[in-house]
């Protein structure tokens, strides 16, 4: 038969076990907080990167909507990505480069066009490389490390004279 243990021998054991459990719970909460902070920074960086790529695409669309083939030159375009009135990103372009030119299929002549406007000039399919580097402006301090490099290729139909002026 076992003897009951006197109550004075068990004093403090509950306190020690409770303190160990409290330390373990504190460590788990601290670890969870650290991980959530790291994840928040990661998500924020990804958002700024995506904004930089979107700003690059917006600026490329602006270049493509301009007559860039008449005099290709380097330029910088400021982009306000969130429409708050301040420029968030600066997009720097190298001069667009004519990579290739090939003769386009001759136009199909109909009986209407055969009369007075018969032309023997060819049109050219030209392929252009547009290279942009996106960096945040000083008005966008949160995106200090968010930069992106965006390249785009585009085909432009040019006349013989236009092609001779800008494509080698």
**Residue 146 CB neighbour total at 10 angstroms:** 23
CA distance readout (Å), 95 to 23, 70, 164: 62, 12, 17
pTM: 0.68
Q: Is 3 among the domain residues?
A: no
Supply the pLDDT for residue 55.
92
Domain count, the chain: 1
Q: Is 92 among the domain residues?
A: yes
CA distance readout (Å), 130 to 10, 81, 146, 160: 79, 20, 20, 22
Q: Is 64 among the domain residues?
A: yes
CA distance 58 to 151: 12
* Banded model confidence at residue 150, pLDDT cuts 50, 70, 90: very high
What dihedral angle (degrees, nearest 10) is formed by the CA atoms of 78, 84, 85, 86?
Answer: -50
Question: Which of the residue ranges 12-26, 112-126, 139-153 would you say has the lowest mean pLDDT?
Answer: 112-126
What is the residue range of 142's domain? 14-106+122-166
Q: Is 147 among the domain residues?
A: yes
Q: Is 126 among the domain residues?
A: yes
What mean pLDDT do residues 83-112 have?
Answer: 82
What mean pLDDT do residues 84-99 have?
Answer: 91
CA distance 17 to 123: 86
Q: Is 4 among the domain residues?
A: no
Average pLDDT of the residues of the chain = 84
Q: Is 115 among the domain residues?
A: no
The answer to whether residue 92 scores a pLDDT higher than 90 is yes
Q: Is 73 among the domain residues?
A: yes
**Residue 120 CB neighbour total at 10 angstroms:** 6
């Amino acid at each position: 038969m076992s003897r009951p243990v006197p109550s004075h021998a068990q004093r403090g054991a509950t306190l020690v076990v409770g303190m160990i459990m409290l330390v373990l719970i504190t460590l788990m909460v601290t670890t969870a907080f650290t991980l959530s902070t790291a994840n928040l920074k990661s998500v924020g960086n990804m958002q700024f990167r995506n904004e930089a790529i979107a700003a690059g695409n917006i600026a490329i669309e602006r270049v493509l909507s301009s007559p860039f083939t008449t005099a290709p030159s380097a330029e910088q375009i400021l982009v306000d990505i969130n429409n708050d009135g301040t420029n968030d990103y600066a997009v720097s372009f190298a001069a667009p480069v004519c990579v290739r030119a090939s003769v386009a299929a001759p136009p199909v002549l109909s009986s209407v066009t055969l009369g007075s406007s018969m032309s023997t000039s060819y049109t050219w399919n030209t392929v252009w490389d547009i290279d942009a580097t996106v960096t945040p402006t000083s008005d966008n301090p949160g995106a200090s490390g968010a930069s992106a490099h965006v390249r785009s290729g585009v085909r432009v139909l040019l006349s013989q004279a236009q092609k001779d002026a800008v494509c080698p």
